Amino acid sequence: MNSTNEFIPAVSLNRILRWWWLVVVFAIAGGAAGLVVHRFQPAQYEAKAVFTASIDFNKIDFMHPPAPTPAPYYLTEADEDLSLAVVEASLRAVIPQVVTFANQQGLALDADSLMAHAIIERDHAFWYLRFRETDPALVQAVTNYWADAGYSNLLDWQKNGKVPVYILFDLIQKADLPKAPTFFHTNAFVLAGSVIGLVAGVILINLPIFKKDQEG
């Protein structure tokens, strides 16, 4: 004997196909709700500092491996990428002092939370340091402090021979004061809201009132 509350996949699928428009309405409403929730999150501002890093191949021509060989030292593409990553390595090396500075400015951050609010990424010859928080003035101050500290560290590494002589680097742009907030993860909020709305719509059309209509 079949119970009226028994779940039958084929029947449920037919019900979804019949009331598809209602499910779509719920999905759209859920996506809109996700967007509204996202906009009510604390506004975040992002600042950006820019470095350049390149290789002077003329200097490589005069370099040899530890044991001199007839051929000049050759860098593969992977070697080039590893060489230019010295900018990111330097920015990460100064994280402890950046955390100290941020704490002094009133930001309760540790190394992990600092990196959770930051992005260090490379685009060809450019390295971008991005930092975001809710106070635009603090965002600018922390970003510029971090950029200056990373650049000074690079100069020290170069002076002490930790950076190969063929790597050229510079801090070409410091952070401006952010003028407007930046909204992050908008798509994730909208997608999550749409999924929740979709599930709610499917549950709704499986309520007894819709079952009775379908079976009738």
Which residues lie closer than 8 Å to 107 by C-beta, 6 or more apart? 133, 138, 142
Specify whether 99 is located in the same domain as 126: yes
Tens digit of each residue's pLDDT (9 = 90 or more) over 160-213: 989 888 889 999 999 999 988 775 566 776 677 778 877 887 887 777 766 555
Does residue 101 belong to any structural domain of this protein?
yes
Residue 4 lies in a domain: no
Structure confidence at residue 176 (pLDDT) = 96
Specify whether 202 is located in the same domain as 113.
Answer: no
- 8 A C-beta contact, residue 74 and residue 64: no
Same domain, 168 and 193: no
- How far apart are alpha carbons 131 and 22 in whole angstroms? 42
Widest Cα–Cα separation across the chain: 90
| Rounded mean pLDDT, 118-136 | 93
Residue 178 lies in a domain: no
Residues 35 and 51 in one domain: no
Q: Are residues 49 and 36 in the same domain?
A: no
Looking up residue 159, the CATH number of its domain turns out to be 3.30.70
Both 140 and 94 in a single domain?
yes
**pLDDT for position 126:** 94
pLDDT, tens digit, 9 for 90 and up, residues 7-63:
566 667 777 777 777 778 878 887 777 666 656 666 789 999 999 998 887 776 544
Same domain, 33 and 52: no
pLDDT of res. 61: 54
Q: Please report whether residue 3 resides in a domain.
A: no
Whether 127 is in a domain gets the answer yes
Same-domain check for residues 53 and 66: yes
Query: Does 157 have pLDDT greater than 60?
Result: yes
Looking at residue 216, its pLDDT comes to: 47
Query: Containing domain of residue 83, as a range?
Result: 45-173
Output 2 or 168, whichever has higher pLDDT: 168
Q: Is residue 147 predicted with pLDDT exceeding 90?
A: yes
pLDDT at 69: 46
1 is a domain residue: no
Q: What is the pLDDT of residue 14?
A: 75
Decide: 165 and 1 in contact? Cβ < 8 Å. Answer: no
- In three-state form (DSSP H/G/I as H, E/B as E, the rest C), the secondary structure along the chain is CCCCCCCCHHHHHHHHHHCHHHHHHHHHHHHHHHHHHHHCCCCEEEEEEEEEEEECHHHHCCCCCCCCCCCCCCCCHHHHHHHHCHHHHHHHHCHHHHHHHHHHCCCCCCHHHHHHCEEEEEECCEEEEEEEECCHHHHHHHHHHHHHHHHHHHHHHHHCCCCCCCEEEEEEECCCCCCCCECCCHHHHHHHHHHHHHHHHHHHHCCHHHHHHHHC
Mean pLDDT check: name the lowest of 69-73, 145-149, 181-185, 193-197.
Answer: 69-73
Higher pLDDT, 29 or 96: 96
Residues 54 and 75 in one domain: yes
Same domain? 131 vs 208: no
Q: Is the same domain home to 57 and 160?
A: yes
